[in-house]
Amino acid sequence: MKKLLDYTSKKKKYQIEKLEGHYTDSIQNITDYLDGKKSAVGVTSGFEYLSVWYHWNFINDFVTTGNFHKNYLEKATLFGIESNNVRFFLGKKVETYHQAIPFEKSIKHLAQAFLLGWDELGFQYGNLLLKMLYGKQYKGGHPAYLHPWFMLEIFCKWQNISLDYKRLNAPKDMKIYSEILANWDTQDTDLLQKMVQQLVDFHIAQSDEDEYEDRTPDFPSSDYFVYPIEILFWLNIRSRLKIVDYKPDNDLMRLSINDYHTQHTDIPKIDLIEKAKQKLMQDYPNIAFEI
């Protein structure tokens, strides 16, 4: 656990100090679109990079000070959601346009929306992601990472949504997640504690930014090394259903950042997002946003 915290701290410090262009260039690109100097593509990439930037700050703030800065997480989540919202909007206009934030990242924004208490937005985004998963954006997804499919399955079980696996490229072997999915709503406290520990062990073992020829770590970004969003999402849904609560009993789940209960925060009003969407609707009056 200490190794993950130390690595994450060093990596976020480097990213924030050396890659400030994720913030400054994104603001400029979006502003240029508003001023008529650049195309709408600058909005989609700008929103995506701002999402990444704020998530870096969210994680960095925690690993350096111990603070759980909800404002950073709120902005990271909203910019990520709106990036895909704008991309889907543009895809309605241009048949060949199919860009999207990678599904393994987008599903995390969905989970974060529910953790923040943005239920209406979360359900809207969940429906949008399903359209993108079956559509030209994700083309059925890919099986390289297991945890995004686990998160999708948990969401669909919660909402009684049946996935059409004939149209999806889901992993054939879900490994540790198979047992969890089979018992996702268990009332057995001991089994719950055991399953969470199994997920924690898997998360820590698979948190690795190195590249290998023979395997792909399931969590290849330090953005989520100490923030196991896949576990938090599952436990949050269980909490909403008032199924027996999990009692944190290991170092990862005891971190204050990993409170899985719904936070009930307000969706921030971000002027840059509102202005960009207004201009897009003016430029393309016959197209509607999904969100």
Tell me how many degrees the CA angle 84-16-261 measures, rounded to the nearest 5: 60
| pLDDT score of 21 | 79
| pLDDT score of 148 | 98
C-alpha pair distances (Å), 247 with each of 141, 156, 242, 261, 274 = 34, 25, 14, 12, 40
Question: What is d(CA 288, CA 90) in angstroms, rounded to the nearest whole number?
Answer: 10
| pLDDT score of 3 | 87
φ/ψ of residue 140, rounded to 5: 90, 0
Question: What is d(CA 60, CA 68) in angstroms, rounded to the nearest whole number?
Answer: 10
| pLDDT score of 134 | 98
- Token match 């969407």: residue? 277
φ/ψ of residue 201, rounded to 5: -60, -40
| pLDDT score of 17 | 87
> Which residues are 207's β-sheet partners?
219
Contacts of 170 (CB under 8 A, 6+ apart): 141, 143, 149, 163
Q: Map out the domains of the chain as residue ranges.
A: 2-283
What is the chain's pLDDT, residue by residue, as a tens digit (291 residues)? 888 899 999 998 999 888 887 899 999 999 999 999 888 889 999 999 999 999 999 999 999 998 888 999 999 999 999 999 999 999 999 999 999 999 999 999 999 999 999 999 999 999 999 999 999 999 999 999 999 999 999 999 999 999 999 999 999 999 999 999 999 999 999 999 999 999 999 999 999 998 787 788 999 999 999 999 999 999 999 999 999 999 999 999 999 999 999 999 999 999 999 999 999 999 999 999 999
Structure-block tokens of residue 96 = 């060949």
Structure-block tokens of residue 223 = 């953005």
DSSP 261-280: S---PPPP--HHHHHHHHHH
Residues in the chain: 291
Half-sphere exposure of residue 285: CA atoms within 13 angstroms, side-chain side? 1
| pLDDT score of 90 | 95
Question: What is d(CA 84, CA 65) in angstroms, rounded to the nearest whole number?
Answer: 32
pTM of the model: 0.96
CA end-to-end span of the chain: 38
Do residues 203 and 230 make contact, with C-beta atoms less than 8 angstroms apart?
Answer: yes
207: helix, strand or coil:
strand
Do residues 55 and 73 make contact, with C-beta atoms less than 8 angstroms apart?
Answer: yes
Do residues 196 and 235 make contact, with C-beta atoms less than 8 angstroms apart?
Answer: yes
